[in-house]
A and B are shown apart, each in its own frame.
Chain A
Amino acid sequence: MACSHEYYKLMHEYLDENMPLTEAKKFEAHMQECPACEQHLKELKKTVAIVQSASHFEAPEGLTREVMNQLPKQNQSQKWQN
């Protein structure tokens, strides 16, 4: 990236939505002037969108039963102690 290290740090703060509004405005103004920073930010945003598009996997069928079968055996007196 052609721009300074400072903007690189700010870019992540910006993406974390951690930036005070006035600072964010200043940052956005810089993005309009600096093609290198703008490109970098665009790529980061795209990366986040791609990662977020990853499917959610569901646990395999029978996982609950497997876990329950492996729990330590209880004897009668241990059950339902109050």
Chain B
Amino acid sequence: MDAVVKRIVREVKRGNQEAFAELVELYKDKVYHIAYRMLGNAHEAQDVSQEAFLRAYTNIHSYDENRKFSTWIFRIATNLAIDRLRKKKPDFHLEDKVGGTENLDYYSQFASEEALPEEQVVKLEMQEWIQQEIMQLPPKYRSAVILKYLEDLSLKEISEILNLPVPTVKTRIHRGREALRKKLGDV
């Protein structure tokens, strides 16, 4: 994997723009997932993901090939998501209309057209609830918890992505975990 990524990055650096599509393909799902979990909104997650890849392309010459590409692109995406959170109102509701759409509320981001069997409804409600509670976390805890438990990254990788010392990352995970326990722990 790493060798493949290195090869693609070199192609892009040499001016082969088409090769960049391969990098996007490799990382788009993870980047989108992080953005979605940070922002809680499909439209904004897509925006931030695209912007992250555009920035990666523009700054590809500053990418250090000795480090993991995933760390670099996750860092760009996380920073963009945090910037966006700073700019928008502090909270939102699932009933809110998704920006730029006619009648799409946040529930429709999860729901599908057909009637769902009971079991799936419960699963869906559970998923909405998890995301709602993640969104209640302050962004600095939210990013640490997402990278640790949804992306399954090591403390060292998280510290590189967030540009924070490992002990600070640990503290943020601990606090995020405690805050979530109060909501999720007693069901």
Contact = CB atoms under 8 A, between A and B. Distances in A.
A13 to B, nearest CB: 9
A74 interface: yes
Interface in B106-153: 126-127, 130-131, 134, 145, 149-150
A58 B32 CA distance: 7
Contacts, number: 110
B180 interface: yes
Nearest to A46: B185
Given A43-B185, A79-B17, A51 B130 contact: yes
A68 B18 CA distance: 8
A79 to B, nearest CB: 6
A16 B29 contact: no
Interface in A67-82: 67-68, 70-72, 74, 78-82
Interface of A: 12, 15-16, 40, 43-44, 46-48, 50-60, 63-64, 66-68, 70-72, 74, 78-82
B80 interface: no
B164 interface: no
A4 to B, nearest CB: 16
B70 interface: no
B50 A66 contact: yes
A62 to B, nearest CB: 10
A51 B24 contact: no
A12 B58 CA distance: 40
Residue among B42, B150, B155 with the highest chain A CB neighbour number at 10 A:
B150
Given A53-B130, A57-B33, A71 B17 contact: yes
A67 B181 contact: no
B46 A60 contact: yes
Interface of B: 14-18, 20-21, 24-25, 28-29, 31-33, 36-37, 42, 45-46, 49-50, 53-54, 57-58, 126-127, 130-131, 134, 145, 149-150, 155, 170, 173-174, 177-178, 180-181, 184-187
A81 B10 CA distance: 12
A56 B29 contact: yes
Contact of A50 (B18, B130, B155): B130
Given A57-B33, A67-B24, 4 more contacts: A12-B174, A51-B150, A51-B180, A63-B24
Contacts of A51: 130, 134, 145, 149-150, 180, 184
